[in-house]
């Protein structure tokens, strides 16, 4: 029979976490203390404990796998290996006071419509190759807001896509 460990035995979920040197960390300050806006989230995650968080992470992975939220990896002549899309259970938290004045303007591009060439908002989702080393491919998937004035670029919500060409020399 498995013995459940107390939260004290499990330790903090954030124990041993060290922010990236020289980068602003959205969760903790330079001394490792949670920023006021995320303190409640940190506290709630810690209340779950490491064991429960691991259990929930495995449940999310199983849900993605059985729900078909996967992609295939091909290697030579071997059969494809099915993998789940990486998903982080720790949310990105932004304080409302910091979010409200920020309007991240998407890039603008032109599209062809029945009315002719029209401006629309776009974003570029780069293709990143990882392995023993990682790099960003020249190009990616450009998502397009098809409705004039819209910020919605996700295809599942009415956005579209277009080719992305990288031209010129790599200086």
Query: Domain containing 35: what range?
Result: 12-99
- Cα dihedral angle (149, 153, 158, 161), rounded to 10 degrees? 110
Beta bridge partners of 108: 121
3-state SS string for 73-111: ECCCCCCCEEEECCCCCCCCCCCHHHHCCCCCCCEEEEE
Specify whether 89 is located in the same domain as 134. no
What's the chain's length in residues?
171
Beta bridge partners of 143: 123, 161
Which residues, other chains included, contact 111 with Cβ-Cβ below 8 Å and sequence gap of 6+?
A: 117, 118, 120, 144, 146, 160, 162
Beta strands, E only, the chain: 70-73, 81-84, 107-113, 116-129, 135-144, 160-162
Specify whether 29 is located in the same domain as 94. yes
Note the pLDDT tens digit of each residue in 111-130. Answer: 777 777 788 888 877 777 77
Asked, for residue 23, whether it belongs to a domain, the answer is yes
Asked, for residue 3, whether it belongs to a domain, the answer is no
Statement: the pTM of the whole predicted model exceeds 0.85: no
Note the pLDDT tens digit of each residue in 37-94. Answer: 888 888 888 888 888 888 888 898 888 888 877 777 777 777 777 777 667 778 777 6
Q: What is the DSSP letter of 8?
A: H
Specify whether 35 is located in the same domain as 63. yes
């Amino acid at each position: 029979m498995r013995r459940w460990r107390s939260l004290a035995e499990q330790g903090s979920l954030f124990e041993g976490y060290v922010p990236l040197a020289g980068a602003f960390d959205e969760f903790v300050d330079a001394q490792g203390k949670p920023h006021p806006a995320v303190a409640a989230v940190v506290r709630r995650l810690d209340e779950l404990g490491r064991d429960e968080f691991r259990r929930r992470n495995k449940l999310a992975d199983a849900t993605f796998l059985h729900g078909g939220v996967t992609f295939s990896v091909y290697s030579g002549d071997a059969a494809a290996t099915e993998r789940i899309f990486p998903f982080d259970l720790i949310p990105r938290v932004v304080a409302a006071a910091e979010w409200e004045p920020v309007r991240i303007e998407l890039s603008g591009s032109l599209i062809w419509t029945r009315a002719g060439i029209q401006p629309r908002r776009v974003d570029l989702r780069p293709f990143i190759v990882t392995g023993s080393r990682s790099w960003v491919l020249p190009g990616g998937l450009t998502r397009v807001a098809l409705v004039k004035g819209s910020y919605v670029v996700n295809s599942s919500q009415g956005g579209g896509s277009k080719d992305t060409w990288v031209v010129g020399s790599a200086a």
